[in-house]
Structure 1
Amino acid sequence: MSFRIDQLPKKKYILPGNAACAGCGMMIGLKVLGMAIGDESVLVIPASCASVVQGLAPKTGIAIPILNVPFASSAAVATGVAEAFKTLGIKGHVVVWAGDGGTADIGFATLSGAAERNSNIIYIMYDNEAYMNTGIQRSSSTPRAAWTTTTPAGKRERKKDVALLMAMHGVPYVATASIAYPQDFYRKLKRATEIDGFKFIHLHTPCPPGWRFDPAKTVEVARLAVETGAWILWEYDHGQFRLNPPSTIYADKTKRRPLSEYLKLQGRFAHLTEDDIKALEEDLEDKWQTILALSQSFSRR
């Protein structure tokens, strides 16, 4: 499915007056979600930036039905809503819209449970790589060496790859996406609506205040993540694992832009030395080797 940005639906689901920060990557993602399935969806949102910026009913800034729930419960609540819809014969897509803290950390138990049960929900993890809403604390999705308020010298551990963990659950559909590539995200949302069972999309969403960059550069930062290979676009669809453009190009590391171009735009990496950057490049190459091995392995089935 190929289309231009101007061919996407024009109805607005993210309205003026919301409380999001300037340049918020999460809100770009929500706009694409609205374009793809806004009239057909109910959002389940745990404690997160998304639960705050929507504002107070009845004058919220998001024109999609929302059920706000406690931090750890979103996948379990969404499962219940999906089962209720099925019992009552209601058509619609139950979508969890959750941050990395509510997914990779606090909500992981209910997420894994919903995946194991193959609950008929679409789970979107918008990943701004820290607990931004409560003061930029590190999460397990924070990259190695990144500054946060709880890792002032840089995080020591690698970033947890939640999308790969979900694929290893054997669910029908898992994908990664980026707010810099809305057509790709839109297509993946549409594909998710065609599938019964558990669907998971890991959406990369840069955060200007948390990552310390100019709010005008949100899309540039997100695009550089893909062009340097720091964020890889792929999907796992009923046992078939494949890279998606433009990451198909960057499987050849000679085609990638230097990782330093991505890092230097972000104040959270301003403390890095050349040795630190070299270590991150080695981590990145390890990640690529894993993804390429999976792609080759599943393509032979």
Structure 2
Amino acid sequence: MLNLAANDECLSSYFVSIKGIALLTREEEEDLSRKIAQGDKSAMKRLIEANLRLVVRIARSMWNPSLSLIDLIQEGNIGLMKAAEKFDGTRKVKFSTYAAWWIRQSIGRSLVNTGRAIRLPHRKEELIRKVQAEKSIMSQVLDRQPTTREISTKLGITEKKLNDVLVFSERICGFESQVDQDKVDLLDYYEDYTYSPEKLFGDYIVKEQTSRLLSVLGERERKVINQRYEIGGRKRRSLKQMGGEMGLSPETVRHIEKKALGKMQTEAAKGYLCMTA
């Protein structure tokens, strides 16, 4: 990694520029902290510049070949500036110790945001990391893959919440992604059901033929058939419910239904559609 940095002109120039900046003593950090609290911008600049090498060290520890080291350093510098704004020197804590958390958090969030096609809330990302870490530990301890119940119990969350998190952690790929060696795209495996002319046409024909068959029935017969077979989005009613609503016995309603179905079958036989008894 050192060779990589040395070969990058931008990084090399940056390393040279920060190499000669003097570090601070604990007393100097406390003094700068008091000045920063009073709004002294030059004091904040001095505190930040003295710790730029800390950012480089942390960024290098979190770097991998797929990432830009200079980008990680820039994100770490943002965390360093936040730390400088919030640092309280009276707490007798070294600034580097305090700033390291802010730097790692800033770089970590940057890695999350650039590593996913869909950006997730930081708390969700943190929970995903905990789940994945616990899953790895439990698989080694149990010598098998842990169940969702075991993981959720260990983390103190519900199975539903865990399943939701596992869905978010799945890798997203495009429909053009190849899924086998024959160069078949993922899109070739999935049919688009959101628009199907054949289905729309079939639904239209069924609706039209149903209306024509219902037209041969009397008003009472239509009402029974519509309710008994949930036509038009109606809720299915029992013979007893229909009888109570119409002032008839359930047996009478059954006879009306049977007579209506007979009429519809006779009409269907003329060529509209085929109905089975």
Q: TM-score, normalised by structure 2?
A: 0.24
Structure number with greater Rg is: 2
Q: Which structure is higher in RCO with an 8 Å CA cutoff and minimum separation 6?
A: 1
Of Structure 1 and Structure 2, the greater strand share is in: 1
Of Structure 1 and Structure 2, the greater helix share is in: 2
